[in-house]
Amino acid sequence: MNNLILIILCFIAGVLLHRYKRMPANTPAVLNSFILHISLPALTLLYVHDLHMTGDVVLMAAMAWIYFAMSVAFFWWVGRWMALPRASVGALMLTGGLGNTSFVGLPMIEAYYGHEGLTTGIIVDQLGSFLVLSTLGITVAGIYSSGRPTAKVMLMRVLRFPPFFALVIALCLIPTTYPDWFTIILKRMGDTLAPLALLSVGFQLRLGHLVGNGKKLAVGLGFKLILAPLVIFLLYVPLLGAHGQAIQVTLFEAAMPPMITAAIIATEHELDPPFATLMVAVGLIISFVTLTAWWWLMRGV
């Protein structure tokens, strides 16, 4: 509950700081850069180091990859149907295909499933959502921001993406025991992610941007919060016969609102930043209702 209150307060603080001009206009760019270079790498080094591989890990991690593939196909079709600009299509693919499985997902999991559900949430986030963002997400952002970059250019973008570099290091360090002081430092640095990210989103929110974006927003959030989680549910439960709390938590993560870091990547690549911010902000608000509904529906899984 404390984490949820923190999320709400930081989001409101961002809105108010912009409203009363208490911080410079380039504040989101500075905050986003700090998140990508400091906060996310620290969290990756901290949580990936403690992952324990089990037989269910593949199924948990695969959800985010399946989800993103559906998003790319669906929004490519939507873009053609609605004649959307390339930048808007790229923003939809990123924010509609990547869920906020970390600093919204983990607090929500703890609230609905207890502390024992966090292990599944971390696996879904680190080996699923985060790895998809660091590879396919960056690739999509590059393609839709600059046309058709070469494979070499895209590979270098992925390898130079700070959180991906941290992920590789974290995987290599799994057999190594971290000293206590290093763990504390990583935790303190990682704890900055949620407040700074929500502050950035709140600071960039402009309700005036709803004008002209209503149809895109309805399609994007309809896919992210309802359609895609339903497809994942049908795939995992009736078709694959998966059951148990780990699967419930995995499906719950599938229903999370758009990932804030995905919106940050969209902004960094100039993929319709106002719309990407709307997807995150409006999706976060609506998800408090939709997540409760999904939790209730999945109790018997």
103-151: pLDDT as tens digits: 678 778 877 888 678 778 878 987 899 889 888 998 899 889 876 666 7
Helix (H) or strand (E) holding 137: none
Write out pLDDT tens, residues 85-111.
Answer: 999 999 999 999 999 887 678 778 877
Report the C-alpha gap between 167 and 45 in whole angstroms. 7
Residue 208 confidence class, pLDDT cut points 50, 70, 90: low
Mean pLDDT of 61-77: 96
Residues 6+ apart with CB under 8 A from 180: none
Q: Give Cα separations from 160 to 168, 171, 186, 262 (angstroms).
A: 12, 17, 20, 17
Q: Give Cα separations from 275 to 92, 155, 291 (angstroms).
A: 9, 27, 22
pLDDT exceeds 90 at position 59 = no
DSSP state of 242: -
Instruction: For the chain, report the end-to-end CA distance as a whole number of angstroms.
Output: 25
pLDDT for the residue numbered 148: 64
Q: Give Cα separations from 180 to 166, 170, 273, 292 (angstroms).
A: 19, 16, 40, 37
Domains annotated on the chain, with CATH: 2-193+210-297 (1.20.1530)
Residue 237 confidence class, pLDDT cut points 50, 70, 90: very high
Span of 11-20, 108-117, 229-238 with lowest mean pLDDT: 108-117
User: Phi then psi for 22, rounded to 5 degrees?
Assistant: -90, -10
Mean pLDDT of 262-286: 90
Report the C-alpha gap between 252 and 293 in whole angstroms. 10
Report the C-alpha gap between 203 and 226 in whole angstroms. 27
- Is the model more confident about 55 or about 122? 122
Please check whether residue 36 is in contact with residue 42, taking contact to mean a CB–CB distance below 8 angstroms. Answer: no
pLDDT for the residue numbered 88: 95
- Is the model more confident about 262 or about 160? 262
Q: Helices 193-204 and 260-268 sit at what angle, rounded to 10 degrees?
A: 60
pLDDT exceeds 70 at position 52 = no
Which pair of tokens denotes residue 257?
Answer: 């609102």
Please check whether residue 64 is in contact with residue 218, taking contact to mean a CB–CB distance below 8 angstroms. Answer: no
pLDDT exceeds 80 at position 201 = no
Write out pLDDT tens, residues 147-180.
Answer: 666 677 777 777 777 878 888 898 889 889 999 9
Mean pLDDT of 227-250: 93
Whole-number percent of the chain with pLDDT over 90: 39
Which pair of tokens denotes residue 33?
Answer: 């850069």
Q: What residue ranges in 66-159 does DSSP mark as E strands?
A: none
Q: Give Cα separations from 191 to 39, 104, 186, 188, 288 (angstroms).
A: 7, 13, 8, 5, 22
